[in-house]
Amino acid sequence: MRPFKYTRANDAGTAVQTATANANAKFLAGGTNIIDLMKEDVERPDELIDVTRLNLTQVKTIDTGANKGGVSIGGLGKNTDAANHPLIRQNYPLLTQAIVAGATEQIRNMATNGGNMNQRTRCTYFYDTAMPCNKREPGTGCGALEGINRNHAIFGWSKDCVATYPGDMAIALAALDAVIKVQGKDGTERSIPFTDYHRLPGDTPQKDNNLEHGELITSIEIPKNNFAGKSYYLKVRDRASYAFALVSVAAALEMNGSKISQVRIAMGGVSHKPWRATEAEKMLVGKDATEANFKAAADAEMKNAKPLEYNKFKVELGRRAIVRGLMMAMNGGKA
Amino acid sequence: MIKTNVIGKPIDRKDGRAKVTGAAKYAAEFGVNNVAYAFPIRSTIGNGTITKIDTSAAEKAGGVLTIITPDNAMRLKTLGNPMELMKVGGLLGEDILPLQDSKVNYFGQYIGLVVAETYEQARTAAEMVEVTYAKLTPAIDLKTEIPKAEMPKTSGFGAPAQLNQGKTESIIKSSPVKIEQTYTTRTENHHPMEPHATIAVWDGDDKILLYDATQGVKGVQGVVSYFFNLQPDNVRVMSPYVGGGFGCKGGQWGHILLAAMAAKTVKRPVKLAITRNMMSTNVGRRPETIQTVALASDKNGKLKAMRHANTSYKSFSNYYEESGKQTKVLYAADEREVTYKIAKLNVGAPTFMRAPGETPGTFALESAMDELAVELKIDPIKLRMINHTAIDPETKLPFSLENIVECYTIGAEKFGWANRKSQPRTNREGKYLVGHGMATATYPAIRSTASVKVQIFANGSVKVLSATQDIGTGTYTIMAQTLADALGVPVEKITVEIGDSSLPTAPVSGGSTTAVSVTTAVLVGGEMLKKDLMALALKDSKSKLNGRNESEIEFANARFYVKGDTSKSDEYTDILKRNGKEMMEVCASSVPQNGGGLSGLFAPCSTEQFNSEEDADAKKYSFHSFGAQFAEVMVDEDTGMIRVSRFTSVQDIGRVLNEKTARSQIIGGVIYGLGQTLMEETQYDKRWANPIQRNLGDYHVPCNLDVPKIDVHFIGKPDPHISPIGARGIGEIGITGVAAAVANAVYNATGKRIRDLPLTPDKLL
């Protein structure tokens, strides 16, 4: 870990202003990822701006604007508090399931909602400074492309980067069409639709997302929806808890009689960003919620997968996970 | 056999309170004045030579005291003949002495050391050192290196390596029933909770004190005295608490020498605590194995031949994984063949890891037995019973005590084996396929020479001291229990001091030897002290025992009394006081006949033996423990995820010394086995030789949710030969057979035979 300056911000404006003034500054919230990365010499900020004192922790019903009736989750609230808030548990159980599927209780007690969006890939080649990695050091190449890439992407990767986004919470938020609210310099605010927030690697894998330097996530908004009774977060992993997803699926359905009127499917562990299974979704709208239809939809999505040497299993696993996720959602999350 | 009262009881750990309150100090936690901190610089290539180490930027970094590289490092005595090192008790993990030359043998090798005022300063400066190399291609992939592999003549400890090579082929060929399959296991790392750490404190040029996280304080003393040319008595090693070892703290690795070198260089105490990442490169590993097992039987299942061909790797030591060990001990068969083919790779040296040999070996053999049972349409337990042997098939010696059939029977009953559906895919519970599997567990029972000092004080307190260690197993507690019975004093009055090389010699805490070896020495010590006390009483005119015969005297509650008349008694403390003694002590040893175990080179401090009607002669008996493992799995076929939902372990480990700590040892062993079975694996990138799983986020070990209730049973009959107490070691047998029991259960559930560990979801799709 390199020496750095520690600054504590007491309001969002000062935090953003301080960060904007220093291209090598980073925000410190829960610290569950940035501190590890600094210890490993992967991140080398020369200033950490502590934003934990900022009053951006509430979970509340949105009473105005486009997402009226939806919920706003404070960017600096803790994951545990978001998962357990009655508004989330009652109206967005998919989000609760996804949050508690991630990490451990202890880590979720520290980790913040905004920070969770920005956690970085767990690709070994990214973490090991002796390895080439375009994400860590642009231009050095991708170690994982022809390396041990079992945990890597099958959708949307480029020859410059095959890393995956590691989180769970964001997969549910992608399915729920959330919006990320950020504050930029001079107090400007903007809203970023969730699926536009994280990026595919392309030739700039060093950019995980579309947050500009200095911008701070103030809240995450989820529009009102009718998925609460029929949603499920399925996470397939190498051990029962405390492991990143091999593949995960956030599935949500809204029925009109026997027909599917709305469906959301997002996948984790398969891409550089939370992957919305739009091909599968398209296939299902207006159809009966049958296993056969779910399978056909899963096939449609997974036929576009491009696996690497060690992660070919993710194509079949993804197919099964979509079907299982949808079946579980239909059954109200019960087996 | 001795009479037991406290031995066997499930009393709480002597060290439990200190551990849960944080009072227990681990190696890195000792406060030493004026300590400096060291952080290693490690190679980033797998094979080659360092051409330049540029330390100019790092030297200017804050707090840096010195940077040691192969260019300026002090020269250590050369290794020479490893036997010379073994004579002083040392056992290097790998034959590479740190910073003595510019050769890079594996990725992550220590190639330099920064010493600074703080840990953070040392670590930061280490990141600023620029190294250039002349690179060579590293040998990383076992399969690629097989053509260059050799068949060793002897094992690491000098025993013949190959057994009956070529002798089974004709029998197997002509046999009516046979199976032959290849099973593979992956490289694993130990990852005890406490990473290795050393604090080195020199006193002048010829004396040194080390606080070290080790399974063997005498080994560390040996290695440091050897390479720094010191009198062993001038090297003191302290390791009162150890946060797990599992084998990687059994030998001595480079960081110990680096800490002592650094402290000598900066003329200050130096602390070197290695990182979790270094635990995957610098302190050993269980190597990958490829094992082909052939079993041939008659139509009734009677084994005619067993053949176990093992392929693995070694690197910079003589250690290789003896995964055929159990195949020499288990089952009657007309002929058996066990062979090894060992390649050499550019990774850090493999070393002992909990049940070295048997852990991967029982996966292969016990999976193969299950496959043979399927082939024969015989119940897997029945197949094992048909081939039961009461004598060691290789040495033809009788086992000292062997109750394996009872283990199967009790296990089957406790587990409910009778309800098992032998046809795969016929047991469903909701979305899960349910399966039941079993396997045999086995591990050698080794007793070594050990010594202890026993002291009794006029205030009634009693102490037992030894250079043994408690690596989390319960050594403190069973030593106190043994002394309580031997000397007849309440266990609460007894203090145990261990983990200090200046105390009487004891073996490395490895190979499941500590419990049997050290408690026997404690027993001898208790008997000796009691005899001394009694002699004083019998000849003392002020004692109510005056003039009596030894044979009339009994003892309990820290006093002697005349048999049948407790009013005629004499308190131990009164005996001391009347004789004007503040303290009485003895030094006692236990020396097994023809065994020698792991520490035959250590001189005992006394030759007195008591209660020696046992015949612990390794030339007359074969000493082994056996057990039976039963697993229930629930497999989600959609996702490939396996949940082990129940586990029953029945172990025949002789007398149980403490029902609670023994149970914990078996539970821990089973959990370690579940890790091996379901998730543990260290992979290497062939191009750079770097390990892919570098931390506990990547290297999965079981979490609570992966571990079911583990039902443990002991046969509990004392082994009449291994010692006067009759207990055998228990640290390792619990892991053996676990992988096969689970994999066999997965077959029973799904009809899929997976012969490649770990059983991750992708392998079930």
Identify the helix (H) or strand (E) that includes residue B535.
helix B514-538
B642 Cα to chain A: minimum distance (Å): 9
Partner residue facing A1 (CB), from B120, B641, B760 = B120
Residue of chain B with shortest Cα separation from A247:
B639
Chain A to chain B, count of Cβ pairs less than 8 Å apart? 90
- Write the CA distances from B242 to A7, B14, B510, B706, integer angstroms: 39, 14, 13, 25
Q: Is the pLDDT of residue B598 over 80?
A: no
Q: How confident is the model at residue B83 (pLDDT cuts 50, 70, 90)?
A: confident
pLDDT for res B595: 55
What distance in Å separates the CA atoms of residue B230 and residue B212, rounded to the nearest whole number?
18
From chain A, pick out residues whose CB is under 8 angstroms from the CB of B703. Answer: 239-242
Q: In b/e form, how buried is each residue of A175-214, taking b as 16+ CB within 10 angstroms?
A: bbbbbbbbbbeeeeeeebebbebbbbbeeebeebbebeeb
Work out the average pLDDT over A298-308.
98
Q: Is B359 helix (H, G, I), strand (E, B) or coil?
A: helix
Name the residue with higher pLDDT: B602 or B283: B283
pLDDT for res A333: 80
From chain A, pick out residues whose CB is under 8 angstroms from the CB of B693. Answer: 124
pLDDT for res B84: 87
Work out the average pLDDT over A67-75.
97
Name which of A62, A76, A85, A72 is nearest A115 in CA terms.
Answer: A76
pLDDT for res B605: 84
pLDDT for res B592: 80
Interchain contact, B638 vs A324, CB within 8 Å: yes
The model's pLDDT over B628-662, given as tens digits with 9 standing for 90+, comes to: 999 999 999 999 999 999 999 999 999 999 999 99
CA dihedral B391, B394, B397, B403 (to 10 degrees): -30
A327 Cα to chain B: minimum distance (Å): 12
Partner residue facing B692 (CB), from A41, A148, A240 = A148
Catalytic residue among B337, B358, B402, B732: B732
Phi, psi of A224 (to 5 degrees): -65, 140
From chain A, pick out residues whose CB is under 8 angstroms from the CB of B688. Answer: 130-131, 143
From chain B, pick out residues whose CB is under 8 angstroms from the CB of A242. Answer: 703
Interchain contact, A335 vs B698, CB within 8 Å: no
Sheet holding B177-185, edge to edge: B177-185, B289-297, B303-314, B335-344
Q: How confident is the model at residue B607 (pLDDT cuts 50, 70, 90)?
A: confident
The model's pLDDT over B654-706, given as tens digits with 9 standing for 90+, comes to: 999 999 999 999 999 999 999 999 999 999 999 999 999 999 999 999 999 99
pLDDT for res B604: 78
The model's pLDDT over B325-358, given as tens digits with 9 standing for 90+, comes to: 999 999 999 999 999 999 999 999 999 999 999 9
Q: What percent of chain A has pLDDT over 90?
A: 97
Which residues have a Cβ under 8 Å from the Cβ of B686 and sit 6 or more positions away? B140, B141, B144
Q: Is the pLDDT of residue A279 over 60?
A: yes
Interchain contact, A246 vs B761, CB within 8 Å: yes
Tally the C-alpha atoms within 13 A of residue B384's C-alpha that lie toward its C-beta.
26
Q: What percent of chain B has pLDDT over 90?
A: 93
Work out the average pLDDT over B414-435.
97
Partner residue facing A335 (CB), from B430, B687, B697 = B430
Residue of chain B with shortest Cα separation from A41:
B127
Query: Which positions in chain B have a beta carbon within 8 angstroms of at least one beta carbon in chain A?
Result: 44, 62, 107, 120, 123-124, 127, 277, 430-431, 638-641, 643, 678-679, 683, 685, 687-688, 690, 692-695, 697-698, 700, 702-706, 760-762, 765
What distance in Å separates the CA atoms of residue A245 and residue B629, rounded to the nearest whole number?
31
From chain B, pick out residues whose CB is under 8 angstroms from the CB of A321. Answer: 638-639
Interchain contact, B431 vs A335, CB within 8 Å: yes
**Paired tokens of B329:** 């001990």
Work out the average pLDDT over B365-385.
98
What distance in Å separates the CA atoms of residue A166 and residue A161, rounded to the nearest whole number?
14
pLDDT for res B594: 59
Q: How confident is the model at residue A61 (pLDDT cuts 50, 70, 90)?
A: very high
Q: Is the pLDDT of residue B599 over 70?
A: no
What distance in Å separates the CA atoms of residue B322 and residue B319, rounded to the nearest whole number?
9
Q: Annotated catalytic, B497?
A: no
pLDDT for res A144: 98
E-assigned strand segments in B498-623? 553-556, 559-562, 565-571, 583-590
The model's pLDDT over A184-217, given as tens digits with 9 standing for 90+, comes to: 998 999 999 999 999 999 999 999 999 999 999 9
What B421-430 contacts at long range (C-beta under 8 Å, 24+ apart), as own/partner pairs, is B421/B748, B422/B379, B422/B748, B424/B747, B424/B748, B424/B749, B424/B750, B424/B751, B425/B749, B425/B750, B425/B751, B427/B748, B427/B749, B429/B634, B430/A335
pLDDT for res B625: 97
From chain A, pick out residues whose CB is under 8 angstroms from the CB of B62. Answer: 3
From chain A, pick out residues whose CB is under 8 angstroms from the CB of B277. Answer: 40
Mutate which of A146, A234, A238 to test chain B, going by most B C-beta atoms within 10 A? A238
Q: How confident is the model at residue B597 (pLDDT cuts 50, 70, 90)?
A: low
Sheet holding A259-268, edge to edge: A231-236, A247-256, A259-268, A275-276
Partner residue facing A122 (CB), from B643, B679, B697 = B697
Q: Which residue has the tokens 């176990």?
A: B308
Work out the average pLDDT over B237-252.
97
Interchain contact, B639 vs A236, CB within 8 Å: yes
Phi, psi of B106 (to 5 degrees): -160, 160
Phi, psi of B232 (to 5 degrees): -50, -35
**Paired tokens of B301:** 């299942």
- Write the CA distances from B676 to A237, B249, B342, B438, integer angstroms: 16, 19, 22, 16
Interchain contact, B688 vs A320, CB within 8 Å: no
Count other C-beta atoms under 10 Å from residue A20's C-beta: 16
Q: How confident is the model at residue B2 (pLDDT cuts 50, 70, 90)?
A: confident
Q: Is the pLDDT of residue B617 over 60?
A: yes
ipTM over 0.85: yes
Q: Are B739 and B291 in contact (CB under 8 A)?
A: no
pLDDT for res B612: 61
Q: What is the mean pLDDT of chain B?
A: 95
- Write the CA distances from B565 to B321, B551, B560, B571, integer angstroms: 59, 14, 11, 14
Interchain contact, A240 vs B703, CB within 8 Å: yes
Q: What is the mean pLDDT of chain A?
A: 97
Q: Are B141 and B344 in contact (CB under 8 A)?
A: no
Q: How confident is the model at residue B473 (pLDDT cuts 50, 70, 90)?
A: very high
pLDDT for res A238: 97
A74 Cα to chain B: minimum distance (Å): 28
Q: Is A264 helix (H, G, I), strand (E, B) or coil?
A: strand
**Paired tokens of B527:** 């008997």
The model's pLDDT over B561-570, given as tens digits with 9 standing for 90+, comes to: 999 999 999 9
pLDDT for res B675: 98
Name B36's bridge partners: B270
| Residue B752 CA, distance from chain mean position | 33
Interchain contact, A1 vs B638, CB within 8 Å: no
Identify the helix (H) or strand (E) that includes residue A252.
strand A247-256
Residue of chain A with shortest Cα separation from B45:
A130
Name which of B741, B660, B599 is nearest B222 in CA terms.
Answer: B599
